[in-house]
Amino acid sequence: MFEILDRDPHSAARRGRLRTAHGPVETPAFMPVGSHGSVKGLDPRDLEEVGAGMILGNAYHLYLRPGVEVIREAGGLHRFMHWEGALLTDSGGFQVHSLAALCKVREEGVEFRSHIDGSRHFLTPERMIEVQEVLGADIIMTLDDCPGLPASRERIGAAVRRTIDWARRCLEAKKRPDQALFAIVQGGLEPDLREECVAALVAMPFPGFAIGGLSVGESREGTRETAASVAASLPDLAPRYLMGVGKPGELVEMAAAGIDMFDCVLPTRNGRNGTLFTSEGTLNIKRSEFRHDERPIEEGCPCHACSHFSRAYLRHLYQSRELLGLRLNSIHNLMYYLRLMEGIRISLKTNRFREFREVFHRSGLREARAGLSESG
Pairing of strands 54-58, 86-90: parallel
Q: Are 305 and 317 in contact (CB under 8 A)?
A: no
Asked if 263 is an active-site residue, the reply is yes
Q: Is residue 313 over pLDDT 80?
A: yes
User: What's the average model confidence in pLDDT over 277-291?
Assistant: 97
What is the Cα–Cα distance from 137 to 90, expressed in whole angstroms?
A: 10
d(CA 255, CA 341): 9
- Overall average pLDDT of the 282-287 stretch: 98
Signed CA dihedral, 79, 82, 84, 85: sign only: negative
pLDDT band of 100, cuts 50, 70, 90: confident
Q: In the CATH hierarchy, which fold is given to the domain comprising 2-263?
A: TIM Barrel (3.20.20)
CA distances in angstroms from 32 to 62, 121, 151, 281, listed in the order given? 16, 28, 29, 20
CB 240 within 8 A of CB 182: no
Tens of pLDDT, residue by residue over 191-229, are 999 999 999 999 999 999 999 999 887 888 999 999 999
Average pLDDT over every residue of 346-360: 98
pLDDT at 45: 97
Whole-number percent of the chain with pLDDT over 70: 99
Quick one: pLDDT at residue 268?
A: 98
Active site (annotated) includes residue 6: no
Interval 225-253 mean pLDDT: 97
Say yes or no to pLDDT of 375 above 60: no
Q: Which of 8, 138, 145, 263 is catalytic?
A: 263
Residue 376 has pLDDT above 60, yes or no: no
- Provide the pLDDT for residue 148: 83
pLDDT of the residue at 364? 97
Catalytic residue among 46, 90, 144, 145: 90
The pLDDT confidence band at residue 94, using thresholds 50, 70 and 90, is confident
How many whole angstroms separate alpha carbon 360 and alpha carbon 207?
32
Segment 10-33 mean pLDDT: 98
Three-state DSSP at 114 gives coil
Alpha-carbon distance 115 to 148, whole Å? 17
- Mean confidence (pLDDT) of the chain: 96
- Distance from C-alpha of 49 to C-alpha of 72, rounded to nearest angstrom: 28
- Alpha carbon distances (Å) from 259 to 208, 211, 251: 12, 9, 9
- pLDDT one-digit tens code per residue, 120-167: 999 999 999 999 999 999 999 999 999 888 899 999 999 999 999 999
Q: Residue range 264-290: average pLDDT? A: 97
Domain residue ranges of the chain, discontinuous segments joined by + = 2-263, 271-374
HEC letters along 306-368 = HHHCCHHHHHHHHHCCCHHHHHHHHHHHHHHHHHHHHHHHHHHHCCCHHHHHHHHHHHCHHHH
Q: Is the pLDDT of residue 54 over 60?
A: yes
